[in-house]
Structure 1
Amino acid sequence: MQEAEARQKLVAAALPHVAFDGWTAATFRAAVADSGVTPALAVALFPRGGTDLALAYHAAGDAAMVAALAAEDLSALRFRDRIARAVLIRLSLADREAVRRGTTLFALPHLAADGARALWSTADAIWTALGDSADDVNWYTKRATLSAVYGATVLFWLGDDSPDQQATRDFLDRRIEGVMRFEKLKADTAANPLGKVLLAGPMALLGRIRPPGPRDGLPGRRAPRPF
């Protein structure tokens, strides 16, 4: 059995157990038993058991979102609406209970960094899919801002029982509107003569920052093994 196939089988086999046991060792053992993947291969692919299964599930959702975005024509939408559409697609592809259990898991202090990287990866996948060409500090600020927006929206979505999840859509629109106001303030400040003087030094320093190259282990560029 190929590694990619084994990964896919293990994640799929884990999902029915996550609602009851979370992303735990018990779920990992059940996934191994149900998937037909040998225990040795399963441990080699997911050395941290349920934790790595949760991260693989998240990465698979990002990949599915990118594929869905590629199949849509977003040219008629404003850019802010394209971002909102990407976030809503990402949520529509997720199992709410699996995400709820994952949110609980990555709230643990020793796994918080893994959770932050997962959010960053989603934000990076969205910006990249939408054709972001930033090659300076904006590469980082865009992803940091969207990570915060996405993370807050996920938490709201987990408790949203409104028809067609309209409350989540409204919440997301408000978060994006807040970001747009902040970006306008930055632009207005940079265009102001006094602002130009005050920002000259910081902007000269920030202008030297470049996005990371396509190497594993760097923010937004950590490529999980594909299924």
Structure 2
Amino acid sequence: MSYHEIRDQLVNAALVHVAFDGWTDATFDAAVQDAGLDANLARAICPRGGVDLALAFHARGDQLMLERLRAADLSPLRFRDRIALAVRLRLEVVDDKEAVRRGTTLFALPGYAADGARAIWGTCDLIWNELGDGSDDLNWYTKRGTLSAVYSSTVLFWLGDDSPDHHATWEFLDRRIDNVMQFEKLKSQARKNPLLKPFLAGPEWLASQIRRPRSHDDLPGSVRSD
């Protein structure tokens, strides 16, 4: 079996135990035993045990989201609605809400907060890339940062939502995106205001000097291989 096949097998086996033990080493050890895998091989694939399984579970959701997004007809949708659809699809592919709840708890811990933030950023990066974002300056960062905030707050709302078909969550998501659009409108108006232009010239020049990362290795917290 390939690396990804073994990791998926471990994640599948772990989901039975996550509701009781969370994304812990206890869950990891039980998953290894249930999957009938060699413990050393499993540890080589997931050196941090349950933490790496939680990240693998998140990454699998990202890929399922991309598959559904690519299969959807986006042509009649406004861009803000395409963003909303992507976030909605990301949540709809989850078939185990408790596993997400346990992951949220894990990545709220100081020792794993960076892992959680990186996973959310990665989700939002995939969404923007799939929707054709071509920004190469500060906007590359602000788009992903803003969507990360929208996505994170929506996940937290969704975890506590018991409305039919999560209707309340989709309304919450729409409101958050509307808030972002209103903010972007205010920014655009400020740039056009002749009274503000002298004050914005310096910050805008500085922002224009910022470029997107050349690769994922350039992201903060990443380890360079060279």
Q: Return the alpha-carbon distance in structure 1 between the equivalents of residues 221 and 181 of structure 2.
A: 22
SS of equivalent residue, structure 2 residue 34 = helix
Give the 5 Å matches for 1:1-80: 1-80=1-80
Aligned equivalent of 2:104: 103
- How far apart are the structure 2 equivalents of 1:85 and 1:175? 13
Task: Report the 3-state secondary structure (helix = DSSP H, G, I; strand = E; otherwise coil) of the residue aligned with 1:193.
Answer: coil
- CA–CA distance in 2 between the matches of 1:12 and 1:32? 11
- How far apart are residue 140 of structure 1 and its match? 0.2
Change (3 A) 1:221 1:142: farther
Q: CA deviation at 1:20?
A: 1.0
| 1:140 alignment counterpart | 141
Amino acid paired to 1:160: D
Take 1:38 and 1:192, find their aligned partners in 2: how far apart are those partners?
Answer: 66
Match in the other structure for 1:225? none
Cα distance in 1 for partners of 2:195, 2:41 equals: 62
Q: Percent identity?
A: 65
How many angstroms apart in 2 are the aligned matches of 1:13 and 1:97? 15
**Which blocks of at least 5 consecutive residues in structure 2 are unaligned?**
none
- How far has the Cα of 1:202 moved from its partner? 0.7
SS in 2 for 1:67: helix
The Cα of 1:164 is off from its aligned counterpart by 1.2
CA 1:219 to 1:80, structure 2 compared with 1: closer, same or farther past 3 Å?
Answer: farther
What is the letter of the counterpart of residue 114 of structure 1? D
User: Which residue pairs with 1:189 in the alignment?
Assistant: 190
Residue-by-residue CA offset, 1:122-150 (whole Å, 9 max, x unaligned) = 11111111111111100000000000000
Structure 1 counterpart of 2:88 = 88
Equivalent residue pairs, number: 222
Runs (4 or more) in structure 1 with deviation over 2 Å come to: 214-217, 219-222
Q: Conserved in 2, the CA contact under 8 Å of 1:121 and 1:221?
A: no
- In structure 2, the CA distance between the partners of 1:220 and 1:157, relative to structure 1 (3 Å rule), is farther
Q: Does the residue aligned with 1:19 lie in a helix, a strand or coil?
A: helix
Task: Normalising by structure 1, report the TM-score.
Answer: 0.94
C-alpha distance in 1 between matches for 2:146 and 2:75:
23
Question: 64-73 vs 172-181, which deviates more?
Answer: 64-73
Q: Does the CA contact (< 8 Å) of 1:120 and 1:219 recur in 2?
A: no
Counterpart of 2:164?
163
Provide the residue aligned with 2:208 in structure 1: 207
